[in-house]
Chain A
């Protein structure tokens, strides 16, 4: 097991205006670590989508980013309502976002598909009524 560089963030579910802060911070951290720009872009966009989802759909959560020699892992955990049907949620265009969120430009149902597209592996574990854990890996 190689040592990982770790970052931990608490994602506030009540403050929509500051949503995305963890992802913007990670972008800075990765740049300081000298990670390649294409990798930074993938990691920070995938994490932002997940972070926004936790704020919109789950009332907030936590984000962990682990940087290993050969990969970056992003783990998002929340105690929200869970995802009833993961296959459906993964489909482009599927969204349960309310109107006030849609008016902000979210709710296209493209977040989870983007997370999949920008990462090399993605695993969703969700218990309806309990919460969701999403882990994503970007290979270096």
Chain B
């Protein structure tokens, strides 16, 4: 399933959309960046409440398909600009990480 289809189904608010036709699979939840780098997989949807600029580099290096910011977290303009320049998909939602993960699980084949 594509990131765009998933975002529509979960009613996520787009922050930066690099490539919404990218396919995602699997979910990783976490805010400690070295845990994310050690455990998240390529193409995962990464749910976090971390919003500083380092999430952009981590998402790029781990090559997650999308970052979903939970609990209504948003990004400062400078972070948004960096993410847009790197073509990273980032959305936000008022839902909790648990609610998001539950809905994402329902979308997995």
Q: What is the size, in residues, of chain A's interface with B at 8 Å between Cβ atoms? A: 24
B31 touches A44 (CB 8 A): no
Given contacts A17-B53, A41-B42, whether A106 and B34 have CB atoms under 8 Å apart is: yes
Residue of chain A at shortest CB distance from B53: A17
Q: Is B52 an interface residue (CB 8 A)?
A: yes
Distance from B32 Cβ to chain A, minimum over Cβ atoms (Å): 4
A105 touches B31 (CB 8 A): yes
Q: Identify whether the interface residues of B are mostly helix, strand, loop, or mixed.
A: helix
- Which residue in B31, B53, B61 is a CB contact (below 8 Å) of A27? B61
Given contacts A41-B42, A41-B62, whether A24 and B50 have CB atoms under 8 Å apart is: no
Q: Identify whether the interface residues of A are mostly helix, strand, loop, or mixed.
A: helix
A108 touches B34 (CB 8 A): yes
B37 touches A49 (CB 8 A): yes
Residues from chain B with Cβ under 8 Å of A90 in the complex:
none
A residues sitting closer than 8 Å to B (CB atoms) are 17, 19-20, 23-24, 27, 37, 41, 44-45, 48-49, 52, 104-111, 113-114, 117
Known: A108-B34, A110-B35. 6 other contacts (CB 8 A): A17-B53, A17-B78, A20-B54, A27-B61, A41-B63, A108-B33
